[in-house]
Amino acid sequence: MLILNNDEIETLLSMDTTIEVLDKAYRQLANGEAVNRPRTDLYLPFPETSGVYAFKSMEAGLFDPKVVALRLNSDVIRWEDRGGRIVKDKLPKAPGGKWVGLVLLFSAETGEPLAIFPDGVIQAFRVAASSALAARYMARQDVTHLGIFGSGWQARAHVEAFCKVRTFEKVLVFSPTKANRESFAGEMAERVHLPVEPCADAERVAEECQVLVAATNAITRVIPPEWVRPGIHFTCVKTSELGDDTITRADRVVIHTRKIAPENYIAGMGDERVEAHDPIEFLNAADKQAVARPEVPPWINAPELHDVVSGKESGRSRPDESTCFVNNIGLGVQFAAVGSAVYEDARAKGLGREIPTEWFLESVHP
């Protein structure tokens, strides 16, 4: 069994490959040749820490290649108010100040485990590649300016990914912290070989760009409805960055998956599944049922990404249409597709650390 780290994955994985294997995986999903188990979050509230421990997991299987991937996150979470924006922070409590996110890959032919590796690089690649894949089928061909909100990992990956599906002349980045947006601009200009301008004025970014990407860790709105104008394409890494009024302002909406919230299981709440976006909000809510069964959003019946990728639905019908891709929640199939590509490439190049598969097998009949 192969162990890989993020550095190795970064050398193995290209954004082009990520976009292409996802394109193939979404087609399989559309054709019933793949299966997802939606994300579930397990919560242990520890009031003494004013936070929770969360264990997230999702799985998916593909017919080609015949693999199953399990992606898990083992997170120590705190909620903080950063200048009026409520931000959920995951604390690096593991030894050496590290986080824990893993992908386990299995063969669907023999059942054996093939590899284990951290999810960080793939996570950034797959979210951005999915957004870019949507843009490939939804954005106008003649776009020139890319506007990015946020300056973290997700924002970096999104700039790189969007430059693979459209030819931009310039990138504008807004991030509330000056130092962040400036280091981001410097780094990204080199990576995508384009002028990248740091902007203190978010509205200017919205006015000058035909493609807007919200890739922040804010759980408050980033793109207001007024910014939605004819011909624009915009997207987000979570629905709270847009809000229903911004999403429904678009002439055409495509969503990543109809699953609107993870299925939460919370200690003290019994075996009932709680479909709340934020279990802390749920725990503090007076009317728990209202939070537990979130209102079905008005865009819920929009086509899913795999419908557009497979050609069952069109992504754009007119140049002056405003289009929105809601990258609302991740799918295991992304990790199965990208993870197996990374695994095969690592095998071909002889990268990674080998441990005996034997350790993870048993002669006990289940």
Which of 48, 81, 271, 354 is in the footprint of its own copies by CB under 8 A? 271
Helix/strand/coil for 56: strand
Q: Which helix (H) or strand (E) holds 202?
A: helix 202-208
Instruction: Provide the residue type at 308 as one letter.
Output: V
At closest approach, how far in Å is the CB of 72 from its own copies? 7
Interaction between residue 144 and its own copies (CB under 8 A): no
Residues 150-169, interacting with its own copies (CB under 8 A): 152-153
Which of 78, 99, 300, 303 is in the footprint of its own copies by CB under 8 A? 99
Helix/strand/coil for 333: helix
**CB-based contact 148:158 (threshold 8 Å):** yes
Interaction between residue 233 and its own copies (CB under 8 A): no
Q: How far apart are CA 159 and CA 190, in angstroms?
A: 12
At closest approach, how far in Å is the CB of 57 from its own copies? 6
Residues 4-33, interacting with its own copies (CB under 8 A): 5-6, 32-33
All residues at 6 or more sequence positions from 363 whose CB lies less than 8 Å from its CB, including other chains: none
Strands 353-354, 2-3: pairing is antiparallel
Which of 51, 101, 297, 315 is in the footprint of its own copies by CB under 8 A? 101
Torsions phi, psi of 277, nearest 5?
-70, -30
**CB-based contact 239:328 (threshold 8 Å):** yes
Q: Which is nearer to its own copies, 149 or 265 (CB)?
A: 265
Which of 17-25, 62-70, 229-237, 290-298 is the region at the interface with its own copies (rule: CB under 8 A)?
Answer: 62-70
Q: How far apart are CA 299 and CA 193, in angstroms?
A: 36
Which of 106, 137, 174, 234 is in the footprint of its own copies by CB under 8 A? 106
Residues 273-332, interacting with its own copies (CB under 8 A): none
Which of 8, 21, 23, 113 is in the footprint of its own copies by CB under 8 A? 113
Which of 80, 82, 92, 195 is in the footprint of its own copies by CB under 8 A? 92
Q: How far apart are CA 51 and CA 297, in angstroms?
A: 28
At closest approach, how far in Å is the CB of 136 from its own copies? 23
